Every structure is written in C-alpha cells, then in structure tokens.
Amino acid sequence: MARIKEVRASVAEVIHGQDEVITEVLVTVLSGGHALLIGLPGLAKTRLAQTLGVVLGLADKRVQFTPDLMPADILGSEVLEETTEGRRGFRFLPGPVFCQLLLADEINRASPRTQSALLQAMQERQVSVAGLAHDLPRPFHVLATQNPIEQEGTYPLPEAQLDRFLTQINVGYPDEAAERRMLATTTGPEPAQAAPVMTAADLIEAQALVRRLPVGESVIDAILTLVRAGRPEMSPLREVRDLVAWGPGPRASQSLALAVRARALLDGRLAPSLDDVVALAPPVLRHRMALTFGARADGVLLSQVIDRLVRLIA
C-alpha cells in the first residue's frame, strides 16, 4: 500500500498541476481498466502515459492514430516466409498492441475500421489474426488521448468502444502555482525524470488486492441507485427521462464497483465509502450517457445531469 502511494508521488514529480487526473488514471490502472484522456494540446496527456509506464515498470508503446492507419499497423500481420529448405509458411509479426501499456494518441483521428481493431484487445486481452487468437501480455492497459476541439478529419468513437474505457478523464489547465513550477522544472538543464517504483508483477498483485477489498451494502446500493437512475427508461428523475437519449449499462456498475475499491486503496483505506462513489461518478459515467438532440440544442451539459444524479446519493 505504501508503494502505491509512492507511485502517485513519483508521477506528480513530473506531471504538475494534475493531481486529480493522476489519481483517476491510477484508479483506472489499479482497477485493471483503460482510460480515455480528453484535453487540449500541451496538457501533458502523452507525457503522463509515458511517465506511468516508467513508474509502474510496464513495457509501453505508442501509436499515433492517423486517417491512413490500418488495423494491421496496430495488431500485426502474417508474412509469407521461405526457409532455407525451400518450405514456405506464414509467420505472425506482432504489432505495437503487444505491450503492457499502449498509448493510443489522438485515437479519434483513425477510421472506425481501425478503431475497432482495439475492441477485442481491450475486452478480451487478445487479438485474432487470420483465425488464430494471440494473447496479449499481462497486465494490458490502453491510455487513449483525444483533442476535444479539433473535429475536422476525426471520427467519433463508437459507443461500444467508449464503453470499454473504464473512465473518461477530462484534463484541464493547471493552476498558476503548478504552471510556475512546471516552467522551472521543464525548461532547465535537467528536466525531471520519473523513476521506477513498481514492476508489472507488483501491479498485478495490487490489482488482485483491489478485487479482494470488501464493499459495504450501502456503497453497492449507492452504485446501483446512481447507474439505474441514469437510464431514461427507468429513472425516477424527470430531467433524465426528458434529456437523456441513452444511459449507462451494467458495465458502468461494474466499473464503478472496481474504481471505488481502487480509490480507497490509493488513499490507504481498506474499504470504499460513499465519497468514493461521488468522486468517481463523473469519470465513469460521462462517456456512457448521451443527451437527446433537443437537450444539446438547448445548451444542456451532460455534467449537469450527472451532478443531479449524484445528488441522489450524496
């Protein structure tokens, strides 16, 4: 548990002014899930992913998503080879997805066909090429980044893929004090470098510990109340019934149940509380709900609807 706290401190030495983002990313990884980082350029999204790989001792790779990227560029492909004896056969060449931490940079710039190449990898931790399944290394996590303002030449992520991200983490600007510290540490002769704190084996052990943490009935009730109230077909809230086109599915409940455990462990607690549910509701729900066209036309924000949901359990 002490080593987990060291991880957060080590990442914060390199990434300044993003304490909440660091916490949410670590919660996602400790839960065994994937994170979608959304923020403007220059807010250290890519550097955060690279730093996390170093601190956690994970083999990381980076794929820059572009419109001409093909599925084989991510998954790998089979090549025809001829041996010295003249025999021919196919050999599988693994792509960059065969790593422990994959940074999918600007994921929405690739076509839906290429985006879908990650669906099986993110859910089943394996990929199928030419009818054969290939297991990915353990652990396996995807950290994807997305620019919220550039829409030209981009493709929205399908709902099925969004649901595979345990959290959607919004990355904002740092405060003045943090930005001042950032200037001093990143423009000097020796920029701050991350140091390894854990290994992949340590992370797998921590993820197993997260699943063993007990969860009280009050926390389970709060999760179910929150998620089910976000579905317009069954919500007791008129705002949800009128403004929400579709709500979170059962995977949201599962994600939230894991995330609250991870947040408790990260804080040195052996059981999650209602405060954990309240804190993690936005990153777990914001990519699993959609407003109606009328609500968007009226300027309604999804964050407002989630805040109203949270008030049911707060």
Specify whether the CB–CB gap between 56 and 110 falls below 8 A. Answer: no
64-103 per-position pLDDT tens digit: 998 999 998 999 888 887 777 778 777 888 889 999 999 9
3-state secondary structure of 246: strand
Total residues belonging to the chain: 314
The model scores a pTM over 0.85: yes
Q: How many CB atoms lie within 10 A of CB 3?
A: 11
Q: Which residues of the chain have pLDDT under 70?
A: 1, 150
Position 277, amino acid: V
CA torsion, points 21, 23, 24, 26, in degrees to nearest 10? 120
Distance of CA 38 to the CA centre of its chain: 10
User: Rounded CA gap, 147 and 296, in Å?
Assistant: 20
Q: How many CB atoms lie within 10 A of CB 193?
A: 9
3-state secondary structure of 131: coil
Burial of 33 (0-12, 13-18, 19+ CB in 10 A): buried
User: Rounded CA gap, 79 and 201, in Å?
Assistant: 33
| pLDDT value, residue 115 | 87
Give counts: helices (H), strands (E), the chain: 15, 11
| pLDDT value, residue 305 | 93
In Å, what is the CA distance from 21 to each residue of 1, 230, 238? 20, 24, 32
| pLDDT value, residue 91 | 80
User: Rounded CA gap, 7 and 193, in Å?
Assistant: 13
Rounded to the nearest 5°, which phi and psi values hold at 132?
A: -110, 135
User: Rounded CA gap, 311 and 195, in Å?
Assistant: 40
User: Rounded CA gap, 47 and 37, in Å?
Assistant: 12
Specify whether the CB–CB gap between 161 and 110 falls below 8 A. Answer: no
